[in-house]
Structure 1
Amino acid sequence: MDQAPGSPQEPQNAHGLPGCYRHPGRETGISCTRCDRPICTECMVDASVGFQCPECVRTGSGTGHRPNASRPRTIAGGTVAADPHLVTKILIGINLAVFLAVLALGDQLLGRLTLIAGAFDRDLGELVGVAAEGEWYRLVTSMFLHEAVWHIFFNMLLLWWLGGPLEQALGRVRYLALYLISGLAGGALTYLIAAPNQGSLGASGAIYGLLGATVVLMRRMRYDLRPILVLLAINLVMTFWWEGIAWQAHIGGLIAGAVIAYGMVHAPQGKRRNVVQFASCALVVLLVAVMLVIRTVSLT
Structure 2
Amino acid sequence: MDHAEGSTQNAAHRVPVCYRHPDRETGVRCTRCERPICPECMVSASVGFQCPECVRGGSGTGHAPTASRPRTVAGGPVTADPRLLTKVLIGINLAVYLVQLAVGYSFTDHFELVGRVQFSQFGPVEGIAGGQYYRLLTAMFLHSPTSYTHILFNMLSLWWIGGPLEAALGRARYLTLYFVSGLAGSALTYLLADPLQPSLGASGAIFGLFGATGVLMRRLNYDLRPLIALLVINLIITFMPGFHIAWQAHIGGLVAGVAVGYAMIHAPREKRTLVQYGACAVILAVVVVLTLVRTAQLT
| Fold conserved between structures, TM > 0.5 | yes
The answer to whether 1:206 aligns with 2:211 is no
* Structure 1 position 195, deviation (Å): 1.0
1:45 corresponds to which of 37, 42, 53: 53
Normalised TM-score (structure 2): 0.81
Aligned to 2:280: 281
Distance 1:144 1:58 in 2: 48
Instruction: Give the letter for the 2:139 counterpart.
Output: S
The residue type equivalent to 1:73 in the other structure is: R
- Alpha-carbon shift at residue 279 of structure 1 (Å): 1.4
Q: For 1:104-151, what per-residue CA distance to the aligned partner results, in whole angstroms no more than 9, with x for missing partners?
A: 000100110110111239xxxx9530102x011111110000122110
**Does the residue aligned with 1:120 lie in a helix, a strand or coil?**
coil
Matches within 5 A, 1:236-275: 236-241=235-240, 242-270=242-270, 272-275=271-274
The answer to whether the 8 Å contact 1:85/1:164 transfers is yes
Following TM superposition, by how much is the alpha carbon of 1:244 offset from its aligned partner in structure 2, in angstroms? 0.7
Secondary structure of the corresponding residue to residue 140 of structure 2:
helix
1:22: Cα distance to partner?
A: 4.8
Aligned to 1:9: none
* Inter-partner Cα distance in structure 2 for 1:155 and 1:26: 29
Pick from 71, 79, 82 the counterpart of residue 81 of structure 1.
79
Give structure 2 stretches of 5+ with no counterpart. Answer: 1-27
Structural mapping, 1:46-65, within 5 Å:
51-52=56-57, 54=59, 57=60, 59=62, 63=64
What is the rounded CA distance, in whole Å, between the counterparts of 1:37 and 1:51 in structure 2?
Answer: 16
RMSD across aligned positions (CA): 2.8
Q: Which residue of 2 aligns with 1:30?
A: 43
Amino acid at match of 2:251: I
| Equivalent AA in structure 2 for residue 175 of structure 1 | Y
- The answer to whether the 8 Å contact 1:22/1:39 transfers is no
Deviations 1:145-199 (A, max 9, x none): 0122110000000000000000000000000000000000000000001111010
1:258 Cα deviation from its structure 2 partner:
0.4
Aligned to 1:5: none
In structure 2, what is the equivalent of residue 139 of structure 1?
136
1:217 and 1:261 in contact (8 A); partners too: yes
Q: 2:135 corresponds to which letter in structure 1?
A: R
Aligned residues, how many?
A: 264
Q: Partners of 1:105 and 1:216 in 2: how far apart?
A: 40
Q: 1:234/1:38 Cα in 2 relative to 1: closer, same or farther (>3 Å)?
A: closer
Runs (4+) of structure 1 exceeding 4 A deviation are 22-29, 36-39
Whether contact under 8 Å (1:211, 1:257) holds in the other structure is: yes
> Given residue 30 of structure 1, which amino acid in structure 2 is its aligned partner?
V
Secondary structure at the aligned position of 2:118 is classed as strand
Residue 167 of structure 2 is aligned to residue 156 of structure 1: no
TM-superposed deviation, 1:20: 1.1
SS class of match (2:132)? coil
Cα distance per residue 1:59-109 (max 9 Å; x no partner):
4xx53x67xx43210110000010000000000000000000000000100
Residues 235-283 of structure 1 deviation map (CA, whole Å, 9 limit, x = unaligned): 000000052100000000000000000000000112x111110111111
Deviation at 1:23, TM superposition (A): 4.5
| % identity of equivalent residues | 51
Distance 1:127 1:107 in 2: 20
| Matches of 2:48 and 2:233, distance apart in 1 | 38
CA contact (8 A) 1:21 1:38 kept: no
SS of the residue aligned with 1:119?
coil
Deviation at 1:58, TM superposition (A): 5.4
Q: What TM-score does the superposition give when structure 1 sets the normalisation length?
A: 0.81
* Structure 1 residue 20 corresponds to structure 2 residue 19: no
Q: Is the 8 A contact 2:43 2:50 kept in 1?
A: yes
The answer for the alignment partner of 1:13 in structure 2 is: none
